[in-house]
Amino acid sequence: MKKIILLLSLFLLFGCGRNLLPTGTIQQQSFSETIPFNFDKGLPIIKVTIKGVDYNFMVDTGAPTVVSPEIAAILKPEKVKKSTVGDSQGNNGKQEFIVVDEIKIGNLAFNDIGAVVIDMKQSFEVKCIGLDGLIGSNQMSNAIWEFDYTNKNITITDDFANFKEPKGASKLSFIDNSLQKTPLVKVQIDSTQSSYLTFDTGANGGINLRLSQFKETIKEYQQAKSYGSSSSGIYGVGKSDTITIAKIPFMKVGNLKLKNQLVNFDEMASFVMGNSFLRNYKTTINWKTKNIYLLPQETEAQKSFETLGLSIRYINNKPTVALLHQNSDAEKVGLQLGDIILDIDGNDLTQLSEEQACNYVFNNILNKKKEASITFIRNNEKQTVKIATKVLLE
C-alpha cells in the first residue's frame, strides 16, 4: 500500500527574496535548546508561541516561514508585500509577505522573521495535519539544527565556532536557495549525478529523482511502475503521472554509501529527499559551512516493496482510487483511477465525516493488510473484488 506523499515545499517565483524573506535574529546568544516534535504523521511538528498563544508549526527546510491568515490578522503587520509563490506540485498563487516581530520556540525568541501568509487548508491532506504555519529555512539558517528522529527531538544551537562533526556521521554538502535558504543537494547513482533536489523535512516521502535523467542508468535494475497522483502540496493535488520505483544496488549521498535502496523516479514538479529517508539518521544541518551530517540510527530502510496495489485519496470525504501499481492485484481485478470505494472488509465508508476521512489519510485503512475485499462504484454500478498483496520488488 503506497501512502499519499505530502510535499510542503514552497519557493518564491518572482520578486526580491532578500527583501521579502528576512532571516531575522535570535535574542539569545551561546544557546543550545532541545525541543520535542510530534512525528505521528511522518512530519516534524512543534509548538511555537506567537503573542502568547501556542500554535502547531511544522519544521520545513523546503519552504520559507509561513503563517496562517488567522495569525496574520492578529499580528496586524504595518507593511505587507505581495509576490508569487509556487508549491511542490507546480501550482502557484500570489501571496502576502509580512515580517513577524517574534516567534518563540522553547526558550528561544526569533525576531523580525520574514513570513508568507498562506491558508494551510487549501489542500485536504494538508488541512488534515492541523498546521498553523511552517518554520522555514530563512528562519532556521540563523542556527545549527539537529533532528533526532529516534528520540523525536530537535536541538537548536548557535555554537558555530565550536561545532564538531558528529562522530561516525557522513557528510553531504549543499548550496542554499538564496531567496529562502532552502538546502539543495545532489545524489549519485553509478556514475550519474542528479541535478539539485530539495533537502526537505516538509516531505513525508523518501528520495524522488527525475526519471529522464536516470532512465538509462537504471534500465537494468528491478523496477515497479504506478500511475495516477500520489502527492499533494500546499495548493492541492499533484498532476497525474507515471512513477517508477527502482531498487538501486549502489548509490551515494555525499560520502554516505547506500546499497539496495528503493528510489522513486518521475517527471513531477518537485524532486526531494524527505523524511522516509531522513528518519534513518540523526540529521544535522549547518548553514554556515553548508554541510549536512547523517548519523545512522537504529532503524532499517525499506528493502522490498510489497503492496495491495492502490492508493486512496479522500475527495469530498469519499475514498477514491488515486493511484494504481502495474501488475498488482488491484490492477489485475480491474480497479481504475477514480473508482469510489464504498466498503473495505465490511467497513462502510459511504458516510464519512471530514474528521473520519482525515483520520484515514494518516491511519490507512489498508495498512498492514495482506488481503482485502473492496466494494466500489463506477458508472452507478457496484462491484466487489478481492485483492492480496504482491511483492513487486524484492
Is residue 173 a contact partner of residue 256, using CB atoms and an 8 Å limit? no
Picking from 289, 346, 337, the residue whose alpha carbon sits closest to that of residue 313 is: 337
Where are the extended beta strands (E) located within 223-365?
Answer: 223-228, 231-233, 236-237, 241-253, 256-266, 272-273, 281-286, 291-296, 305-307, 310-315, 318-325, 340-344, 347-348
* C-alpha atoms less than 13 angstroms from C-alpha of 348 in its C-beta half-sphere: 3
pLDDT of residue 249: 95
Residue 267: per-residue pLDDT: 83
Contact between 389 and 329 (Cβ < 8 Å):
yes
- Residue bearing cell 531522513: 278
pLDDT (tens, 9 = 90+) of the chain, 394 residues, equals 455 566 666 655 444 444 678 889 999 999 999 999 999 999 999 999 999 999 999 999 999 999 999 999 999 988 788 777 766 566 667 788 999 999 999 999 999 999 999 998 888 988 999 999 999 999 999 999 999 999 999 999 999 888 889 999 999 999 997 778 999 999 999 999 999 999 999 999 899 999 999 999 999 999 999 999 877 777 767 677 889 999 999 999 999 999 999 999 988 767 899 999 999 999 999 999 999 999 999 766 677 899 999 999 999 999 999 999 999 999 999 999 999 999 999 999 999 999 999 999 989 899 889 999 999 999 999 999 999 999 999 8
The angle subtended at Cα 167 by Cα 189 and Cα 31, nearest 5°, is 110
pTM (two decimals):
0.92
Query: Cβ neighbours of residue 85 under 8 Å, at least 6 residues apart?
Result: 10, 11, 12, 13, 92, 93, 94, 95, 116, 118
CA 46 distance to own-chain centroid: 15
d(CA 272, CA 9): 9
